[in-house]
Amino acid sequence: MKTKDKILRQALLQFNTEGVERVTTSSLAKNLGISLGNLHYHFPNRDSIIRQLVDQFLNDEEMRSQKLLQVKTENFMTHAFTVQFLTFKNMWEYRFIFTDRLVIKRRMDYLEVRFRKMVDQRKSEFDQTMSALQASNIILPNISQKTFDAYFTQIVIGNNSWISYSDLFDYGSAPYLHFAECAIWSWKPYLTCSDEELEATIKIALENLDTYL
């Protein structure tokens, strides 16, 4: 593994366990057993490491999102639920981004700018997808745009805050699986399928995790 990748891996570990403000480039270099000068050759400061990790996380999410948009409508929900599980898994692996979001925001606007751009893009994709799913009788036909707008807002807030509240719930050994499934069940009031059909779709989605991008 290249030194740059080792630095990013160590930074991710320490950011997740210690928090951004407690991690310094000196502590990273010490834990890696390299000189501070060597670390600064790859990353001049802590913020540059944060930006790189944010890019890694969001680039992963963008790849999955683009793949999902290419899925045919009749297969969409299985793929969407698989992506939901993988997204929550990725969020847990980069959880400092969410637990320390306001800390990062005070240090730089990079994360906020990228998040805002992503939310705007996802809203456009969400509206198009809901229309297509309604036309295919997967989503109930009598749901207004105002309801969809409110649900999208709930999705953004819920999906980006579950990590901060995860300690309040009993989720077992894999928190992202529990909270991803809760997020999936929040779709139920809008779907035409039965509870049993939704359960079956979730099961298939879980079986796809190891082979999905």
Same domain, 28 and 73: no
Same domain, 120 and 195: yes
Q: Distance between CA 30 and CA 152 in Å, rounded? A: 44
Contacts of 9 (CB under 8 A, 6+ apart): 1
Phi, psi of 191 (to 5 degrees): -95, 150
Contacts of 80 (CB under 8 A, 6+ apart): 68, 71
Residue 49 maps to a domain: no
Mean pLDDT of 135-140: 95
How confident is the model over 76-114, as pLDDT tens digits?
Answer: 999 999 999 999 999 999 999 999 999 999 999 999 999
For the entire predicted model, the pTM comes to 0.93
Expressed in percent and rounded to 5, the helix, strand and coil fractions of the chain are 75, 0, 20
Spatial contact of 61 and 90, defined as CB atoms under 8 Å apart = yes
How confident is the model over 32-65, as pLDDT tens digits?
Answer: 999 999 999 999 999 999 999 999 999 999 998 8
Question: Total structural domains in the chain?
Answer: 2
CATH number at residue 15: 1.10.10.60
Axis-axis angle for helices 145-159, 175-185 (nearest 10): 170
Residue 12 maps to a domain: yes
Q: Tell me the one-letter amino acid at 92.
A: W
Domain range for residue 132?
54-207
Residue 35's Cβ-side half-sphere holds a number of Cα atoms within 13 Å equal to 3
Q: How high is the pLDDT of residue 86?
A: 94
